[in-house]
Amino acid sequence: MRPENWQLWLRKNEKLLIIIVSGALIILGWLMGYFSPLARAILMTAAALAAGFPIAKTAWYALRAEVISIHLLVTIAALGGILIGDQWEAAAVTFLFALGEFLEARTLAKTRDAIGQLLDLVPAAATVLRDGQEIEVDPSEVGTGESVLVRSGGKIPVDGIVTKGSASVNQAAITGESIPVEVTSGSQVFSSSIVEAGYLEIQAQRVGEDTTFARILHMVEEAQERKAPTQKFIEKFSRWYTPAIIALAALTGLFTRNLHTALTLLVIGCPGALVISTPISMVAGIGNAAKSGVLVKGGEFLEKAGKVTLIAFDKTGTLTTGKTEVTAISALLGDEEEVLRLAAAVEKGSEHHIGSAILRRASSFPLPAAEGIQVFAGGGISGQVEGKRILVGNRRLLEQHNIILPPESEEWLTAREEMGETPVPVAAEGKVIGAIAIADTLRPEARETAAKLQQMGKKVVMLTGDNPRTAGTIARQLGLDEFQANLLPGDKVEAIKSYQAQGQIVAMVGDGINDTPALAAADLGIAMGAAGTDAAIETADLTLMSDDLDRLIGALGLGRATLANIRQNVIFAVAVVLLLVAGVLGQKVFLATGMLAHEASVMLVILNAMRLLAWKPNTR
């Protein structure tokens, strides 16, 4: 092996080598003790120094940063053991602490396997068409708009639109859904998805660090560094707890005149298990979420997910599929085609789902130009068409423009609302000329999701800009606890604040685009079906990458399981310290056994947290 390789190997395995050297010296010291007490003392001291030097160095760096660390307690205890002639205890304390740190590091690495597994999905190369030739390049070198080729077994290296071919694609890296989806020309595909069978030509839209997968990786890595409130509290607690333990040990030594007991108090008082109890659970929980297609922005939000008491849903695109269609047209003046034609002309300037449905219905005939387009948030749209001012919207918008709704149109609108549809009046030059009814299909799992949330003890409500009759029909169909209708974006924010004033911890579930103010106002903003949507990923605290509402049940359940895991770890860590203190004062726990119990408690806390990596929601 080359010298540089040896140096690299030594750096990687430094902790293991220290443990081996220290352990060998301890064994040799025990054997030599049968022949020479002096040799035993020298070898035990050497073992303590071998394991203790890195610990003391870390303690020194921490002190320079004005932090009294656990490493300082161990260093003081080891030096004290050597000075009072108890070299075996000093060697045992430093060896066990070093061994504990090594095992902790190895075990903690396993809790980050979710990131490692995600990194394994990053495509190593991309095949692009340049000048009619297939060229293999690094994925970061693909240009926007270039054609990328992916064959069976290959990883898609970009976000883009399929321009040619068809394939069965596994999008688990993005959505967490392991069942492949069938894609064809016009389909959206995402980086790091795997083509299981087929052939695709893809026009690149997002490349390199801009892909959905790259953003997910970045945000999951950031999330594992962000601290939850419980973690922040415990870190603050440990800042005064550690100096307090030093003071307690000093006082114990002064009053009992037993330096050995004082040193043992220093060792068993180390708050290692307590300090690690929250971050290790959070890392494991966030890792589990990442594998399941749930993007959590940090431990703070995973903790909030476990405390939510009320779930507020937007209707369109959340409880419904968002795939709206025109179901009926009513004409008061002119014919139905004229009503549809004028409404569609104005809706060309809209991005709303209602406008999209109207445009799809009117796609078979040419539309006149519209000028002076004005969009009314939560109300509708207006514009100048063929010299007439056309307004398409809801009742509130008509009232704002002093337009009277004729009785016959009112009856038609009411009937459609009671069917769960959304009727949209159309006015020209201040008079209602007709109306268009829009229907949106409820998600198949919406009713079951609402029922499961209620079984979990959550209150389930709907906040929508739709009219009260339509909203009421949908709320009854889904079995919701409550609904509020005719809400503008600002009204939704006020509704959330009113729930919070009642003591509710509110999660708002929306599409992450239209409901940005409500998502921001809620204690926990949840965007669903956000794969490839920048606004959703940036706005929400917790993002469901697929359109499946069942992911919400899993995310909230994981939050609750993580909170429970943290409580278990904290209670266990505190109980161990209290029992060990009692053991020390009762002369039942000594320096080496105290350190062994301390390290064992840290490992048990880590192992308990690792259970979260395998946690799955109860699907019954």
Tokens of 66: 């004005």
User: What integer pLDDT is reported at residue 312 of this predicted model?
Assistant: 95
Distance of CA 78 to the CA centre of its chain: 42
User: What integer pLDDT is reported at residue 616 of this predicted model?
Assistant: 84
Do residues 107 and 138 share a domain?
no
Do residues 24 and 95 share a domain?
yes
The better pLDDT of the pair 159, 89 is held by: 159
User: What integer pLDDT is reported at residue 541 of this predicted model?
Assistant: 82
Do residues 104 and 148 share a domain?
no
| Tally of CA atoms within 13 A in the half-sphere of 201 that contains its CB | 10
Do residues 364 and 424 share a domain?
yes
Tell whether the model's pLDDT for residue 235 goes beyond 70: no
Stretch 550-569: mean pLDDT: 89
Comparing 66-80, 391-405, 559-573, which segment has the lowest mean pLDDT? 66-80
* Cβ within 8 Å of residue 424, ≥6 positions away: 343, 354, 358, 380, 392, 393, 394, 435, 436, 437, 438
Tell whether the model's pLDDT for residue 438 goes beyond 90: no
Tell whether the model's pLDDT for residue 508 goes beyond 80: yes
User: What integer pLDDT is reported at residue 108 of this predicted model?
Assistant: 55
In contact, 343 and 390? CB cutoff 8 Å: yes
Tell whether the model's pLDDT for residue 355 goes beyond 80: yes
* Cβ within 8 Å of residue 68, ≥6 positions away: 62, 239, 242, 243, 246
User: pLDDT averaged over the chain?
Assistant: 80
User: What integer pLDDT is reported at residue 463 of this predicted model?
Assistant: 92
Q: Judge whether 164 lies within some domain.
A: yes
Closest by CA position to 165, among listed 195, 127, 194, 207: 195
User: What is the domain-level CATH number for residue 430?
Assistant: 3.40.1110.10
Q: Judge whether 287 lies within some domain.
A: no
Do residues 41 and 65 share a domain?
yes
Do residues 344 and 425 share a domain?
yes
Cα(397)–Cα(382) distance, rounded to whole angstroms?
10
Q: Return the DSSP state at 404.
A: P
Domain count along the chain = 3
Tokens of 296: 């959590």
How much of the chain, in percent, has pLDDT values that exceed 90?
Answer: 10
Closest by CA position to 100, among listed 270, 265, 355: 270
Tokens of 235: 């870190």
Q: Judge whether 39 lies within some domain.
A: yes
Q: State how beta strands 542-544 and 459-463 pair.
A: unpaired
pLDDT in tens, 182-234: 888 888 888 878 888 888 889 988 888 777 777 766 655 554 455 556 656 66
Q: Count of CB atoms within 10 A of residue 64's CB?
A: 8
Q: Judge whether 447 lies within some domain.
A: no
End-of-domain residue from the set 154, 189, 210? 210
Tokens of 156: 């898609």
pLDDT in tens, 122-145: 677 888 888 888 888 888 888 888
User: What integer pLDDT is reported at residue 138 of this predicted model?
Assistant: 85
The better pLDDT of the pair 106, 43 is held by: 43
Comparing 103-117, 332-346, 556-570, which segment has the lowest mean pLDDT? 103-117
Q: With b meaning 16 or more CB within 10 Å and e meaning fewer, what string describes 437-471? A: bbbbeebeebbebbebbeebebbbbbbbbbbebbb
Closest by CA position to 378, among listed 494, 507, 282: 494
User: What integer pLDDT is reported at residue 88 of this predicted model?
Assistant: 73
Q: Judge whether 26 lies within some domain.
A: yes
Comparing 61-65, 106-110, 168-172, 430-434, which segment has the lowest mean pLDDT? 106-110
Task: Tell me which residue range forms the domain holding 44.
Answer: 1-111
Tokens of 222: 């950031």
Do residues 95 and 187 share a domain?
no
pLDDT band at 309 (very low <50, low <70, confident <90, very high): very high
H or E segment and range at residue 130: strand 126-130
Q: Judge whether 467 lies within some domain.
A: no
Do residues 7 and 106 share a domain?
yes
pLDDT in tens, 470-484: 888 889 989 999 999
Comparing 68-72, 192-196, 484-488, which segment has the lowest mean pLDDT? 68-72
Cα(340)–Cα(5) distance, rounded to whole angstroms?
75
Stretch 366-381: mean pLDDT: 83
Which ranges of 208-335 does DSSP label H, i.e. alpha helix? 212-225, 229-256, 259-268, 272-291, 299-305
Cα(124)–Cα(171) distance, rounded to whole angstroms?
17
In contact, 98 and 54? CB cutoff 8 Å: yes
Cα(130)–Cα(143) distance, rounded to whole angstroms?
11
Tell whether the model's pLDDT for residue 489 goes beyond 90: no
Comparing 164-173, 211-220, 303-312, 552-561, which segment has the lowest mean pLDDT? 211-220
Do residues 103 and 146 share a domain?
no
End-of-domain residue from the set 390, 416, 439? 439
pLDDT in tens, 271-304: 667 767 777 788 788 878 877 878 887 778 888 8
Closest by CA position to 216, among listed 309, 155, 318, 294: 294
Tell whether the model's pLDDT for residue 532 goes beyond 50: no
Tokens of 488: 């503008």
pLDDT in tens, 380-422: 888 898 889 999 988 888 888 888 888 888 888 888 888 888 8
In contact, 590 and 264? CB cutoff 8 Å: yes
Do residues 150 and 106 share a domain?
no
Do residues 331 and 431 share a domain?
yes
| Tally of CA atoms within 13 A in the half-sphere of 79 that contains its CB | 9
Point out the residues that are catalytic. Answer: 314
Q: Judge whether 422 lies within some domain.
A: yes
Q: Judge whether 44 lies within some domain.
A: yes
Do residues 372 and 407 share a domain?
yes
Stretch 70-79: mean pLDDT: 74
Residue with the two structure tokens 């007439």: 388
Stretch 116-124: mean pLDDT: 63
Tokens of 439: 């229907």
User: What integer pLDDT is reported at residue 451 of this predicted model?
Assistant: 93
Q: Count of CB atoms within 10 A of residue 112's CB?
A: 17
End-of-domain residue from the set 415, 439, 463? 439
The whole-model pTM stands at 0.65
